[in-house]
């Protein structure tokens, strides 16, 4: 079913139109909203904190929250871009996003799986209570007056993070219910995506068959949590279109691979 990767932009658009679609998005879709990605062309090498590091003790948690308090202050001001709005208009059978920024939801996408969770929610690792990030942000501001202003020059990183080395004086709040350790309710590297979440995505991909298509946009597919859906679709003979600036792990599985901007391509798809 594979067609030469040099096939044209218009051919890819024609393939996707009038078909049931599952769309998989990555960080490249949010760069037009001012949120940097991990692996786009020109992006510096960045290593996110792993789950194992986060739970290793107070020093790692202080480092995470000291940086995240700054980064989320910026991320929550981001707004959906033309690509987010185009996908909301497209309304695919299922939208699977690896992003935690919540911009798809804010743009109005309905049938959606936030594969890695949402940075706007916080979970206690002891009592498992889930609370709004905004409430924790207020508590951190009260405990760390002037923190945001003092570190305003720290460069923004993906997923609500910043480049900041010294966080030793940052005060980390505990769970207000049980005193436990608080973590953003997102899937860190080293954690597994909840099985029910993955199964919902598999079911949507399996239902496509050869008459539907999978569109992966703005993702390098280097992380297995997203790549597995591309691999599953290709094995079933479902057409796959990959739109990303730079090589991806799914290029050899793609019916069409396009080096194109996410917003530009999606706007053309719904236009």
Binding-site positions for NAD(+) read: 98-101, 218-220, 244-246, 262
CB 119 within 8 A of CB 100: yes
CA–CA distances in Å: residue 20 to residues 29, 91, 92, 216: 21, 10, 7, 14
> 201 and 225 in contact (C-beta within 8 Å)?
no
- Contacts with 106 (C-beta within 8 Å, 6 or more apart), sequence order: 79, 80, 84
- Check residue 80 and report its DSSP letter: -
Query: Residue positions in the annotated binding site?
Result: 98-101, 124, 127, 175, 178, 218-220, 244-246, 262
Instruction: Please name every residue paired with 217 in a beta bridge, in sequence order, or none if there are none.
Output: 25, 243
Q: Which of 69, 104, 116, 151 is catalytic?
A: 116
Longest dimension (CA), the chain: 59
Check residue 218 and give left, alpha or beta (phi > 0: left; psi -120 to 50: alpha): left
Q: Are 94 and 113 in contact (CB under 8 A)?
A: yes
Task: Name the DSSP class of 54.
Answer: H
Q: Which two tokens stand for residue 44?
A: 């510096």
CA distance 124 to 131: 9
**180 CB burial (10 A radius; 0-12, 13-18, 19+):** middle
Q: Compute the chain's Rg from CA coordinates.
A: 19
Residues annotated in a binding site for Zn(2+):
124, 127, 175, 178
- Note if 151 is an active site residue: no
Torsion on CA atoms 235, 117, 162, 153, rounded to nearest 10: 120
Active site residues per annotation? 116
């Amino acid at each position: 079913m594979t067609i030469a990767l040099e096939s044209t932009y218009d051919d890819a658009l024609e393939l996707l139109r009038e078909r049931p679609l599952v769309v998989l998005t990555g960080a490249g879709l949010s760069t037009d909203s001012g949120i940097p990605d991990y692996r786009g062309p020109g992006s510096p090498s960045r290593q996110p904190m792993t789950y194992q590091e986060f739970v290793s003790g107070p020093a790692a948690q202080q480092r995470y929250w000291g940086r995240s308090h700054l980064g989320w202050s910026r991320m929550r001001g981001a707004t959906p871009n033309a690509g987010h709005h185009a996908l909301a208009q497209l309304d695919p059978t299922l939208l699977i996003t690896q992003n935690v920024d919540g911009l798809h939801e804010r743009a109005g996408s309905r049938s959606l799986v936030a594969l890695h969770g949402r940075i706007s929610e916080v979970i206690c690792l002891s009592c498992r209570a889930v609370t709004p990030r905004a409430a924790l942000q207020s508590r951190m501001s009260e405990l760390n007056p002037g923190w945001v202003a003092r570190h305003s020059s720290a460069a923004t990183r993906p997923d609500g993070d910043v480049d900041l080395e010294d966080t030793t004086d940052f005060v980390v709040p505990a769970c207000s219910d049980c005193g436990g350790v608080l973590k953003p309710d997102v899937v860190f590297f080293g954690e597994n995506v909840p099985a029910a979440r993955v199964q919902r995505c598999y079911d949507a991909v399996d239902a496509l068959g050869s008459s539907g298509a999978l569109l992966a946009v703005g993702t390098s597919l280097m992380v297995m949590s997203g790549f597995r859906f591309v691999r599953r679709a290709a094995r079933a003979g479902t057409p796959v279109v990959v739109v990303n600036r730079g090589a991806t792990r799914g290029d050899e599985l793609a019916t069409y691979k396009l080096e194109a901007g996410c917003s530009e391509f999606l706007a053309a798809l719904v236009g």
